[in-house]
Structure formats: structure tokens, C-alpha cells
Amino acid sequence: MVYWRIIRKSYRRNLQYRLSHVINNVASSIFGLVFIAIWTGVLSGKQVYGPYDVKTMGYYIAICQSVLWMTTFISPGLNVQIAVRSGAVSLDMIKPVHYLWYMLSQEFGRLLYNACYRSVPIGLLLGLVVGFFYPSHPFTYFSFILSLLLGTYVGMLLFYLAGISSFWTTEIR
């Protein structure tokens, strides 16, 4: 129950920056449109021998741009290094919760916000440009969501490892 409250609080904290996130969504969508235009120019009018035709690359770029906010743009070090430098980590450590799960819950709340207010709008906008692809087998949806969640979890754990290295060094970069 404690971790659910931490997730909700982190989610609500990000609601304060909606205008900034709308601007980021526009920029990310523009990057996606530029990538789609580049690949359209490269692949148009060419004999394609592999599975990468213009439409498939458009789908691929739309999916990649929409899930970037959940997989790639994780907080560096889960902000552990900031708490170590300021000394606030001592307050985090005396809380009656597991430190790893506390940090992961904060990041998961932020990533949940990113999924709702960043990934979905970018995916819808780019999907309107390139069209929507609906796999015929329902297992494809399950495997996509599972791989997205597991990839995000592994990424958060790696960033946590980088963050806790700040206990020995003050800089994680």
C-alpha cells in the first residue's frame, strides 16, 4: 500500500508540468515525422528485398518514438546522486520502506505519467500519419506489453545501480 501511494504521488507531481510536456510531445512528434520523411525518401521507388518497406519503417518509427518516454528517458541514476549530494538520502534511508522499491516506485509513477500523457498522444499522432497496424494474433499484444514492461524494469534497475554508485563517488556521469 505504501508503494502505491508513492507511485500516485510521483504521478501527481508530474501533472504540474503539463505545458512543458506538451512542448516535449510536439518536439518528439516532429523528430518522428522527420525520421519518417527520411526513411520515406530513402526507401521510395526502390526494390525492397527485405522486410523493411516504407510502411513497415513508418510503423517502426511511430512505435519507437512513442515508447521512448517509458524506456529511454528514465531519470539518470533515479536521482539518487542528487539525494546523496544534498544529504537528503539520510531521510530516505530512515523511512520504513525498502530503499530500492522506494526509488523504483517514484520512477514508476513518473513513467506511468509518461505513458499516459506522452507516449499515447505521440503514438496517436504518428499513427494518424503512417496508419495503424493491428496484428492478427492476440499473443502479439501480450508479448509487446510484457517486453515493454520488462525492458523498462531492467532499465530502471540499471539506472538504480548507476545511482547507488554515488554513495562511493559523488558523480555518476
pLDDT tens figures, 2-35: 999 999 999 999 999 889 999 999 999 999 999 9
Residue 173 lies in a domain: no
Residue 105 lies in a domain: yes
Question: Rounded to 5 degrees, what are φ and ψ at 100?
Answer: -60, -50
Residue 172 lies in a domain: no
Residue 124 lies in a domain: yes
Crossing angle for the helix pair 99-114 and 2-14, nearest 10 degrees? 40
Q: Which domain holds residue 105?
A: 2-167
Report if pTM > 0.85: yes
Local structure of residue 18 (DSSP, 8 states): H
Mean pLDDT, the chain, rounded, equals 92
In the chain, how many domains are there? Answer: 1
Q: How far apart are CA 26 and CA 45, in angstroms?
A: 30
Question: Which tens digit of pLDDT belongs to each residue from 60-105?
Answer: 999 999 999 888 888 999 999 999 999 999 999 999 999 999 999 9
pLDDT at residue 49 is higher than 90: no
Whether residue 114 contacts residue 73, with contact meaning beta carbons closer than 8 Å, is answered with: yes
Q: Which three cell numbers stand for residue 73?
A: 528517458
pLDDT for 101 equals 96
Q: How far apart are CA 112 and CA 96, in angstroms?
A: 24
How far, rounded to the nearest angstrom, does the alpha carbon of residue 6 sit from its chain's CA centroid? 19
